[in-house]
Amino acid sequence: MSHVAVENAHGLEQQLAVLDLSAADGQGGGNSRRYIPPHLRNKDAPKNAGNAFAAGRQGGYTIAPAANYGWDGTRNNFVNGYHDNRMTGNSFNRGPPRMERGRGGVGGGYRNNRGGAFNPINPAQPMGFAGYENKDAGGWNTAKDAYSSFGNNRGKSAFFNDRGNASRGRFEHGGFGNGGGGGGNSRWVEESRDDGDWSKPTPRNERLEHELFSGSNTGINFEKYDDIPVEATGQNCPQHIESFQDVDMGEIIMGNIALSRYTRPTPVQKYAIPIIKSKRDLMACAQTGSGKTAAFLLPVLSQIYTDGPGEALNAAKASGQENGKYGRRKQYPISLVLAPTRELALQIYDEARKFSYRSRVRPCVVYGGADIGQQIRDLERGCHLLVATPGRLVDMMERGKIGLDYCNYLVLDEADRMLDMGFEPQIRRIVEQDTMPPKGIRQTMMFSATFPKEIQILARDFLEDYIFLAVGRVGSTSENITQKVVWVEESDKRSFLLDLLSATGKDSLTLVFVETKKGADALEDFLYREGYACTSIHGDRSQRDREEALNQFRSGKCPILVATAVAARGLDISNVKHVINFDLPSDIEEYVHRIGRTGRVGNLGLATSFFNDKNGNITKDLLDILVEAKQEVPSWLESLAYEHQHKSSNRGRSKRFSGGFGARDYRQTAAGVNAGGFGGRGGGRSQAGHGGNRAFGGGGFSNFYTSDGYGGNYSHSQVDWWGN
DNA sequence: AAAAAAT
């Protein structure tokens, strides 16, 4: 045991050397290392990747000074599609979220700050505001005309200027997390907003503009991005773009792209935008953090701006006639985005608000755990783009609040996750058993990190003549995350954690994963008593508290977040410097998702995992991951994996070696699906004839979308965290 | 036996 402790101390030094704790800007990145996709690593890894990454790990990360991140416009280093991490106003009217959990007042000001006053100007943002002084230079040149001609003619400027006002945020939007800052639109402009030219920008609103776009962006290594392989297959696949200017998305979108300071499309955007713009269905294998959200929001919104509300407007008018004004009853969104978790839905909604700024499109979000009455009232103010979790949407449909009759754009985000969570019946209910236009009429886009058989079937059922897009991983197990595994006994975990935390800079965000909800509460309490500004997120906390916790974490007010699996996937929190697996998961997929919370979009990150006897089940898979990502492998882990493999029977061996193929094995391709008799387009016209099988059939991507989609052949261990 | 999600 004492021997182990010494090793740990040494490991800690290494970790701290790796993590540049003195970085004051809180932004990772700044390196120029090339991302080498797994299938290329063996070939030129020594030359391009191995040395560079090894050197990086030993020598510590180089974090560029803030000036290099382009706030001054000198560098084009901004992430496209990256989530806006502003501190939203959600905390308003919520009260101190955790006081009821019986905590003492120890630990100083952090607790008192929780649930603090709403501030529409986002004071928590570390960045300056300089970029906005000159914002009309950023693509809105023509919009000025629109402002004077449209806004003033209608005499609505007072109302527009009122959008995003703090009191409105409170009374109309508080409570279900739409950012609290006005939701972009107010009921007073509702009757006019649907009329007129949807392709022309509505007047500016500086307050709202500030609220939407002042969130900190994050540095990105475009060199790394450029190496991310993308492969598009399908009939008549549109040419990909290299710049946002290559495709005409209209002045509203271009203006918002400029305000978001997106300079170059990410790989998934380069391909998805022209595909969606040319009205094709899409099945994209890509992970969050790849700029996926913007990849579908930009073209979909652009299309809505071009086409206008169409039938949906008349339907909304008709449905509201009894009230003497339209838009009051049933809403007919033009676009629907389904997401698996509430937080993810919110995140997408926040992006949608940005890209619908100065447009007539009103985005809404509905999800469980929040007051449905408030959500209904928000819907009634108009809803053209709806982001939803499936359960709550079905509820809304059954209450007659939402009609999908005119939903021309359907997006399923994180489709694999939604199926994992058992949402398939609700999804089919929404898509197939209601009034949504059939495939071929509507445009459907599916996104999924993996492409198992269930997703293939869903794609067959929901998509028409689709393009298949395979996007290589951005982060996950790749070399931009330094993975450390340290042996820590259960009884030593807390003190070891304190050691790690005490050496971590106050500005660095640290995400600590535990396996149980109880464990999350206990650990948060412990850290709190130790004086750390921390919060927690798990499924037993109220939705309000979950969002609050996430905001506290994002904003840096509570730079330590203790989380269960709820936070493992999809959540896009920039600047997470360190992910700590206080408890390792039993499932390697879960591990990959967790560590993927750091090292986002080309940034560098650190993941530390506490390993002990209880984690035998994950030994082999973990070892494989470390090796694949060219990480340092502790010798004890190696021998443990060896022992484990030679233990009795199947213990610790993955299903794939024990006959567990079946549903999870999807080396079967999009082409294979069609060729295998699922062909949505009839008979032999499979995508295989167009190279569809290249994505999987032994080509460069075979490694990306195997049974788990994380670039390896690992799969579930049979023994879980509880030793069953 | 965990977690997530409509109530």
Give pLDDT tens digits for A67-93: 222 222 222 333 333 333 333 333 333
Whether residues A345 and A492 share a domain: the answer is no
- Could you check: is the Cβ of residue A495 within 7 Å of any atom of nucleic acid strand B? no
Closest CA to A201 of A316, A272, A296, A301: A301
Whether residues A502 and A633 share a domain: the answer is yes
- Position A624 in a domain: yes
Whichever domain contains A521, its CATH number is 3.40.50.300
Whether residues A463 and A486 share a domain: the answer is no
CA of A368: nearest nucleotide by C1' is B6
Mean pLDDT of A536-558: 90
The separation, in Å, between residue A541 CA and nucleotide B3 C1' comes to: 12
What total of structural domains would you count in chain A? Answer: 2
Give pLDDT tens digits for A129-186: 332 233 333 335 433 333 333 333 333 333 233 333 333 322 233 333 333 333 344 4
Mean pLDDT of A467-494: 82
Whether residues A397 and A501 share a domain: the answer is no
Q: Which residue has the higher pLDDT, A397 or A568?
A: A397
- Could you check: is the Cβ of residue A363 within 7 Å of any atom of nucleic acid strand B? no
The separation, in Å, between residue A608 CA and nucleotide B4 C1' comes to: 25
- Position A306 in a domain: yes
At residue A647, the pLDDT reads 60
Q: With DSSP H G I counted as helix, E B as strand and the rest as coil, what are the percentages for chain A, rounded to 5?
A: 45, 10, 45
pLDDT at A108 over 60: no
User: A210 falls in which pLDDT band (50, 70, 90)?
Assistant: very high
- Could you check: is the Cβ of residue A395 within 7 Å of any atom of nucleic acid strand B? yes
Rounded distance, CA A265 to CA A273, Å?
9
Rounded distance, CA A190 to CA A194, Å?
7
pLDDT at A421 over 60: yes
Strand partners, A386: A336, A364
- Position A248 in a domain: yes
- Position A723 in a domain: no
Whether residues A228 and A352 share a domain: the answer is yes
Mean pLDDT over the full length of chain A = 67
pTM of the complete model: 0.62
Give pLDDT tens digits for A511-522: 999 999 999 999
Whether residues A491 and A455 share a domain: the answer is no
Whether residues A545 and A438 share a domain: the answer is no
Of A56-60, A469-473, A533-537, which has the strongest mean pLDDT?
A: A533-537
- Position A381 in a domain: yes
Give pLDDT tens digits for A614-666: 998 899 889 988 887 889 999 999 998 887 666 644 443 333 222 222 222 23
At residue A599, the pLDDT reads 74
CA of A422: nearest nucleotide by C1' is B5
At residue A356, the pLDDT reads 97
- Position A498 in a domain: yes
pLDDT at A604 over 80: no
Mean pLDDT of A7-35: 33
Rounded distance, CA A526 to CA A532, Å?
9
- Position A189 in a domain: no
Mean pLDDT of A207-224: 70
Q: Select from A440, A471, A502 the last residue of a domain.
A: A471
Residue with minimal CA–C1' distance to B1 is: A722
- Could you check: is the Cβ of residue A372 within 7 Å of any atom of nucleic acid strand B? yes
Range of the domain at A233: 206-471
The separation, in Å, between residue A488 CA and nucleotide B3 C1' comes to: 24
Q: Select from A471, A494, A512 the last residue of a domain.
A: A471
- Could you check: is the Cβ of residue A136 within 7 Å of any atom of nucleic acid strand B? no
The separation, in Å, between residue A53 CA and nucleotide B7 C1' comes to: 50
Whether residues A315 and A382 share a domain: the answer is yes
SS3 assignment for A580-591: EECCCCCCHHHH
Whether residues A297 and A333 share a domain: the answer is yes
The separation, in Å, between residue A388 CA and nucleotide B1 C1' comes to: 30
- Could you check: is the Cβ of residue A325 within 7 Å of any atom of nucleic acid strand B? no
Whether residues A290 and A379 share a domain: the answer is yes
The percentage of chain A sitting over the pLDDT mark of 70, rounded to a whole number, equals: 57
Whether residues A295 and A358 share a domain: the answer is yes
Give chain B positions with protein CB within 7 A. Answer: 1-7
Q: Which residue has the higher pLDDT, A113 or A328?
A: A328
Helices (H), A558-669: 588-595, 619-628, 635-645
Whether residues A530 and A394 share a domain: the answer is no
pLDDT at A547 over 60: yes
The separation, in Å, between residue A379 CA and nucleotide B5 C1' comes to: 21
Q: Select from A591, A619, A646 the last residue of a domain.
A: A646
- Could you check: is the Cβ of residue A109 within 7 Å of any atom of nucleic acid strand B? no
- Position A599 in a domain: yes
DSSP codes of every residue in A310-359: THHHHHHHHHTGGGTSTTSS-B--SEEEE-SSHHHHHHHHHHHHHHTTTS
pLDDT at A714 over 90: no
- Could you check: is the Cβ of residue A347 within 7 Å of any atom of nucleic acid strand B? no
Residue with minimal CA–C1' distance to B2 is: A516
Give pLDDT tens digits for A260-299: 999 899 899 999 999 999 999 999 998 666 788 999 999 9
